[in-house]
Amino acid sequence: MSRGTSIHFTYPITVAVLLSSGAGSQTEYMRVDMRKDFRNDTGALASVQKDIGKGSLSHTRKRRRASWLLPLSVLGPGLVAASAGNDAGGIYTYSSMGAQFGYSMLWVMVVLTLGMAIVQEMCSRMGAVTGKGLSDLIRENFPLRVTALVMLSFLLANSGVIISEFIGIVAALRIFNVPPWISAPVAGFLLWWLVVKGSYARVEKIFLALTLVFFAYFIAAFLAKPAWGQVAIGSVVPTIQFNSAYLFMLVTAVGTTISPYMQIYIQSAVVERGVNMREYGHERIDVYSAAIFSNLVAGVIIIACAATLFVHSGGKGVVLKDAADAALALAPFLGHFASTVFAIGLLGASFLAAGVLPLSTCYSITETLGLENGVSKSWKEAPVFWGLFTALIIIGVVVAMLPNLPVVQVLLNLYLLNGIVLPVILFSVLWLVNNKRLMGTYTNGPIFNALAYTLTIIVSLLAILSVAVQVCSFFGIQLLG
């Protein structure tokens, strides 16, 4: 496949394209159809508009077909963005929640389901109303310093997630006795080469298929015979422990479930599909149902780990150390094959995200700076784009190669960082979505605003408290037990 050939690289987790139209196929379900496929730089609104300008409208028959295929065209962005949290870091986070705290943190996932639905609905609505991505709106409507702060938050959060994916790759291959000094650089070079050569879309379906093995958690959860009464209580009755370990896990869960890069993805995906407010009802359904589904998967992982690892510890809780520990939750279903199946799923999830997340970061930064971007561009045409992409891959590889790396603890800390910077993103989204100049009559209503601001304030307070605990701990001061 040549550099100019279209492959669907958009924003984090390009599964949306695979689900809605098929990789490499024309996007015929859009409100404005094009004979020409999107190029790799379609994440940027300017590039989308340029392609629309250059392309011609499809003929009448395609437009008629598009009208009844419209629900299929928007079915995916919400699902993909919501499910993106179930990658390497997400799997370890939810496994740790169940292994350490049993069923007592299930209520957190119920609350986060509502929070995820609220945040992603706001972003998808902004995309439908304005026809612009989140990065574009931030650049156009905030002062330079605020824009720099928001994009720095995105860069920090995304860099952490990229590192976590390479750690996930190393952890998965370690189960097959492949040392990090081999697995990390080989994986990094392979991903870099696939992106540069424009071949990633061909293998991306394979990585997606590998992640399906995590549905084994549904069966494992039932075979482990959990205490369903405790599951029900843990899901509806908040149980809060005032200690640093619980706070750490709580903020990490927030950063994993409502990860900043998801908001960039879903808004860009809505823009790319040409969804407007006349057609927005389908997108809203997608967002809400996706939030429920993805967090149902997370809840099942918690239940499976609670019913096995937590119960077998006598209720004391288990701190996971590596992939082999996390795989034990699948033992009731898969027995001796648990580690192998877990490794395959982890490898697929990590590879899928590691190939796309660096690109999402590069698009966001270069869009904000007004620089050339896109995989179809040469190094000479887009030096910052390609340089940043290469640097992010190298950083992920180097960190993953570090000897004696405490895999689970590092992954959790990286997603803790997500939770800490998330308030910056949430306040930005709230300001934009309530801007009548941008949104007209489609700003948040009073009830929606009350829920959104409550979520943002709670997340902000948790982030501040988490930072305070970490700083005080560094100086030997213990704020919480």
pLDDT tens digits, one per residue of 9-38: 333 333 333 333 333 333 333 333 333 333
Residue 49, pLDDT score: 39
- pLDDT tens string 315-326: 899 999 887 788
* CA–CA separation, 438 and 431 (whole Å): 10
Distance of CA 308 to the CA centre of its chain: 27
Q: Backbone phi, then psi, for 24, in 5-degree steps?
A: 80, -5
CB-neighbour burial class of residue 64 (10 A; exposed 0-12, middle 13-18, buried 19+) = exposed
Q: What pLDDT score does 94 carry?
A: 93
Interatomic CA distance for residues 334 and 328, integer angstroms: 9
Please state, in angstroms and rounded to a whole number, the distance separating the CA atoms of residues 161 and 174: 20
User: What gap in Å lies between CA 221 and CA 328, rounded to an integer?
Assistant: 12
Residue 383 confidence (pLDDT): 92
Higher per-residue pLDDT: 65 or 459: 459
Q: Residue 224: its pLDDT value, please?
A: 87
Q: Supply the pLDDT for residue 371.
A: 82
Distance (Å, whole) CA 75 – CA 88:
24
Written as one letter, the residue type at 323 is A
Check residue 433 and give its pLDDT: 97
Q: Enumerate domains of the chain plus CATH numbers.
A: 84-474 (1.20.1740.10)
Average pLDDT over residues 62-74: 39
Of the pLDDT bands very low, low, confident and very high (cuts 50, 70, 90), residue 125 is: very high
- pLDDT tops 70 at residue 78: no
Q: What average pLDDT does this structure show over 371-394?
A: 87
Determine the Cα–Cα distance for residues 282 and 265; give it in Å rounded to an integer.
Answer: 17
**Confidence band, pLDDT 50/70/90 cuts, at residue 69:** very low
119/207: higher pLDDT: 119
- Residue-wise pLDDT for 428-479, tens only, equals 999 999 999 999 999 999 999 999 999 999 999 999 999 998 888 877 888 7
pLDDT bin (cut points 50, 70, 90) of residue 236 is very high
From CA 353, how far away is CA 341, in angstroms rounded? 19
